[in-house]
Amino acid sequence: MHLAVFGGTFDPPHNGHLALSLFARELLALDHLLISVSNNPFKQQKAVSDDHRLAMVELLATEITRTGCCVEVSCWELEKQQLSYTVDLIRHLHKVYPHHTLSLLVGEDSFADFPSWKEPENLMALCNVVVFRRITVPHDHHHQRWQPAITTIDFSCGISSTEVRARVFSGQSITHLVPPSIHRYIVENSLYC
């Protein structure tokens, strides 16, 4: 069985996260997708509470599941009540899914910081690392260092959680940036205002 892990702060989840998940499912022939809501040490300031982020990721998982992919949301990182590191999550998942092949889905922006992640070499040994790179950006030195240990997939989606938050704060529409269920959740809970 092939399990892919997609982690992030998801503050909020948006259509780029949705598209990446669906793209990965098709290109990597995934049997299972696990979305992990994290306490990223590089993003210590969250705009909304962990409960809101988790609720929105549950909505994202529902959107993905509608297309036929088996999706699970993990709050293991949140439950630790401390900064979370990907290598620890992957070790935990090896215990939970000992017979699965694990792939870690990473956006190019996050992968730029990969050398400063906790135990990057051990992480490479524990799972396949799949980097979704922007088509418009030439390959960087951070890709070359880890080749051929990583898989790169060209993927352009110009949406960011920062942009979504800024648009909400300034009263602009985000209907084209987030799934409808997440849009409703943001409005009903007055998030990012």
- Sheet order of strands, 128-133 included: 71-74, 32-37, 2-8, 101-107, 128-133, 150-154
pLDDT (average), residues 161-177:
97
The pTM assigned to this predicted structure is 0.91
Residue 140 scores a pLDDT above 60: no
For residue 110, tell me if it sits in a domain. Answer: yes
pLDDT of res. 179: 98
Q: What is the pLDDT of residues 56-80, one digit of tens each?
A: 999 999 999 998 878 999 999 999 8
For residue 193, tell me if it sits in a domain. Answer: no
- Structural domain of 6: 2-158
Q: Domain with 94 in it: what CATH number?
A: 3.40.50.620
For residue 105, tell me if it sits in a domain. Answer: yes
Residue 44 scores a pLDDT above 80: no
Q: What is the domain count for the chain? A: 1
- Percent of the chain at pLDDT exceeding 70: 90
For residue 187, tell me if it sits in a domain. Answer: no
3-state secondary structure of 35: strand
For residue 174, tell me if it sits in a domain. Answer: no
Q: How big is the chain by its Cα radius of gyration, in Å? A: 16
Residue 145 scores a pLDDT above 90: no
For residue 167, tell me if it sits in a domain. Answer: no
Question: Nearest to residue 154, comparing CAs of 112, 108, 115, 114?
Answer: 108
For 118-146, the DSSP string reads: SSHHHHHHHSEEEEEE-TTSPPPHHHHHH
For residue 172, tell me if it sits in a domain. Answer: no
For residue 35, tell me if it sits in a domain. Answer: yes
* Helix (H) / strand (E) containing 62: helix 50-65
